[in-house]
Amino acid sequence: MKSLMNKLLQTKITAAITAVATAANILSSADLPSTPFVGIFDPDGASPEIVLVTAVDTTVEPNTITIVRGLLGTTAKAQPAGAILYQYGEVHVLATKITDVSTGETLIFPMPQCLVIKAMTAIDGAISVADDKVTLYKNAVAMTNGEITIAHTSSAAGDVDSVSPTAGNEFNGTTDYLKVINGGESTTAIVGQLLIFYVPLD
C-alpha cells in the first residue's frame, strides 16, 4: 500500500474516533485534495484502514471530514487523536461514449479491485422533453448516490453533470462488474461522453 500513498497530501485528526464514526475533526484541510478522494490511516501498520472522504467542511472550527470506513479489504477500527490521514491511490479514468442519450443503453465493464469515486457526463447538444438518467451499478445493484441526471431544461452542448457514489462502489477484481444504464428518457438524438473515476487497490 505504501507505493500508492501520497505523504504530501495529509492531515491529522484532532480527536479520537470510534470504528463506526463517519465524521472526524481535522487539524487542517489546506493540504487535502478536492473531494471525493481515498485516504488511508496507518499505512505502515499491521492493519491499515482505507476510507473514502466524501466531504470536507471548512465552515467550522476545527474543520471536519465525512468518511466511509473500512474499504478495499481493510477493516474499520478506532483511530486515536493525532492519527494521520494520507491520500491513497492514483485516480484512473475509464472513458466511454453514450451512443445516443435518447436511446436506452446498457454498458458493462470488468473492473480491477478498486473503488469508484466519481462519474461525469457531457453532452454535445441540447436535449428535450425529459431529463435523462445515467445510473451506475455494481453487478445488478445500483450504487448509492450513483445516478446522474442530465436536465433537459436549458440544456446545451458542453453541459457537464457528475455524481460521487458513497456505497455499493467497491469492486473485488474477480466476479464484480460495472454496469452503466442510460435511461434514454430524452427524445433528442445526442451523443454523450461518460467518465468513470476509480482508485485501484495497490
- The 3-class SS string of the chain reads CHHHEEEEEEEEECCCECCCCCEEEECCCCCCCCCCEEEEECCCCCCCEEEEEEEEECCCCCCEEEEEEEECCCCCCCECCCCEEEEECCCEEEEEEECCCCCCEEEEEECCEEEEEEEEEEECCCCCCCCEEEEEEECCEEEEEEEEEECCCCCCCCCEEEECCCECCEEECCCCEEEEEECCCCCCCCCEEEEEEEEECC
Grid coordinates of 120: 461525469
Question: Same domain, yes or no, for 124 and 180?
Answer: yes
Q: Output the CA–CA distances (angstroms, integers) from residue 190 to 122, 131, 185, in the order listed.
A: 10, 13, 12
**20 and 80 together in one domain:** yes
Same domain, 76 and 101: no
pLDDT tens for residues 118-163?
999 999 999 999 999 999 999 999 999 999 999 999 999 999 999 9
Domain count, the chain: 2
Together in a domain, 100 and 122? yes
Provide the whole-model pTM. Answer: 0.87
Chain segment 20-67, per-residue pLDDT in tens = 999 999 999 988 889 999 999 999 889 999 999 999 999 999 999 999
Query: What CATH number is attached to the domain comprising 155?
Result: 2.60.120.1110
